[in-house]
Structure 1
Amino acid sequence: MGRVAGLHEDIAAAESDAQVARLLADLLRSDKFPRWLIAGALDTLVAEASASLLELSGGQFELTHDKGDFLVVDHNEADARRPVKTLSGGETFQASLALALALSSQLGAMAAEGATKLESIFLDEGFGTLDEATLDVVASTLENLAASGSRMVGVITHVPALAERVPVRFLVTRDGTGSHIAREGA
């Protein structure tokens, strides 16, 4: 009896090994391996962006994805999942910023050892199209990000209300002799 039980265990282990080998062979096929890598990279990107968005939105939103579409999980609406295109202007900005930060982090992680790290990001988001309430959400988001000290964020804007909230500004002016830069603020 003991020998039969041992043989059954050996058969089960061999079948398990064969199943793993078939799965690996399937994933390593030239037409599937790149998709598998991309799916893993997307999962990592969305997970990191989701954590950032949760923080940026004060705990209201997280990101997820399904079949190539980004979705938002709205914790203020019983964790409802909905397309990101349903977000308001300020919420869309937060989601875009979270994705940009995650992408810059992932690029840094994939860089060769000794390569330059991406520790800053510049935003030129078309702030002039935002209403006053949304502009306030955007400015607060940027202030919170700057306070965290994790990245330097540069903002390119023509909107005085946003520019006034940036502690260090570089004002670019142009006249007949050329462009001039002056530092303002702290």
Structure 2
Amino acid sequence: MQLKSYVLAARLEDIVDAANTRLSRMPHHRFTLVHSDDRAARGAKSGLDLKVLDAWNGHKRHTDTLSGGESFYVSLALALGLADIVTAEAGGQALDTLFIDEGFGTLDEDTLHQVLDVLDSLRAHDRTVGLISHLPELRRRITQRLHISKNIDGSTLTHLTEAAE
């Protein structure tokens, strides 16, 4: 394993630990991320692979086998875990804002509500969460919105403070 891969793998382990703390607070407590030293192309050890341990069947599986909703939870946990690590290494300087661009369209209705509950809990703990989406369900649930309209003369930003009906 090359030195840079070794260093990155060590950092990834820290992020995975922090992500698993976040993932354990999400609905169903089904998945745990596992850092893997699987071989990369041509048999080289990359040390930068992730798998998920599925508590429902006890098997490790590749992250590319996750459904849209499962993938969303794992990605959100990884983003929050990375933010936690950066915050800890920046002397406690908090990263208070998180932007999530789409991905909501891959979620079924129940999973969407569970994800929004998780995001609401982040907002309740002084974190600003910006969602970028086109889903009508989000328009109904999110009361503070920015609407961006594009036209030939440029873009217009409108601040909306009530949920759409």
TM normalised by structure 1 equals 0.68
Q: How many residues matched?
A: 151
Q: Which residue of 2 aligns with 1:64?
A: 34
Identity of aligned residues (%): 37
Shift of 1:129: 4.2
Q: Which has the higher contact order (CA 8 A, sep 6+)?
A: 2
Matches within 5 A, 1:22-37: 32=3, 34-37=4-7
Match of 2:54 among 74, 90, 96: 74
Do 1:90 and 1:137's aligned partners in 2 also have CA atoms closer than 8 Å?
Answer: no
- Which residue pairs with 2:144 in the alignment? 168
d(CA) in 2 for partners of 1:58, 1:144 = 16
Question: Larger % of helix: which?
Answer: 1
Can you give the 5+ residue segments of structure 2 that lack an aligned partner in the other structure?
Answer: 38-47
C-alpha distance in 2 between matches for 1:86 and 1:61: 13
Trace 1:113-128 onto structure 2 (pairs within 5 A): 117-128=94-105
Q: CA deviation at 1:160?
A: 1.2
Shift of the 145–76 alpha-carbon distance from structure 1 to 2, 3 Å rule, reads farther
Contact 2:101 2:132 survives alignment (8 Å): yes
1:36-115 matches, cutoff 5 A: 36-67=6-37, 68-77=48-57, 79-111=58-90
Give the TM-score normalised by structure 2: 0.75
Instruction: Give the gaps of 5 or more residues in structure 1.
Output: 1-30
- 2: CA distance, partners of 1:94 / 1:83: 15
Residues 65 and 71 of structure 1 are in contact (CA less than 8 Å); yes or no, is this contact kept in structure 2?
yes
1:151 aligns with 2:127: yes
Q: Is the 8 A contact 2:146 2:157 kept in 1?
A: no
Kept after mapping to 1: 8 A contact 2:31/2:54: yes
Q: How large is the RMSD of aligned CA atoms in angstroms?
A: 2.7
User: Between Structure 1 and Structure 2, whose CA radius of gyration is higher?
Assistant: 1
1:74 shift after superposition = 1.6
